[in-house]
């Protein structure tokens, strides 16, 4: 374990493992929520467009 190359490899492997456990689930979550927000916004725009297309009622 006194070999600096082995220590560097273990350090890099640990960082890669940490990134895998934190970054990828976070990325998937953020992508899913962004799509959900975008879909809600598009639905709201369509609803408003439909309401504007209808004649005014007294």
Question: What does the pLDDT read at residue 54?
Answer: 76
Q: Which of 34, 14, 36, 15 is nearest to 26 (CA)?
A: 34
**Is position 27 within any domain?**
yes
**Is position 23 within any domain?**
yes
Q: What is the pLDDT of residues 6-46, one digit of tens each?
A: 999 999 999 999 999 999 999 999 999 999 999 999 999 99
Higher model confidence: residue 22 or residue 53?
Answer: 22
**Is position 17 within any domain?**
yes
Asked if residue 7 lies in contact with residue 1, where contact means CB atoms within 8 angstroms, the answer is yes
Task: Write out the residue range of the structural domain in which residue 13 sits.
Answer: 8-35
**Is position 26 within any domain?**
yes
Query: What does the angle CA 37 – CA 41 – CA 47 come to, to the nearest 5 degrees?
Result: 145
Cα separation values, 18 from 29, 44, 53, Å: 17, 39, 53
């Amino acid at each position: 374990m006194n070999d600096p190359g082995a220590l560097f490899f273990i350090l890099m492997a640990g960082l890669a493992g940490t990134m895998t456990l934190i970054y990828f689930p976070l990325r998937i979550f953020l992508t899913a929520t962004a799509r959900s927000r975008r879909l809600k916004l598009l639905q709201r725009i369509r609803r408003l467009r439909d309401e504007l297309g209808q004649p005014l009622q007294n």
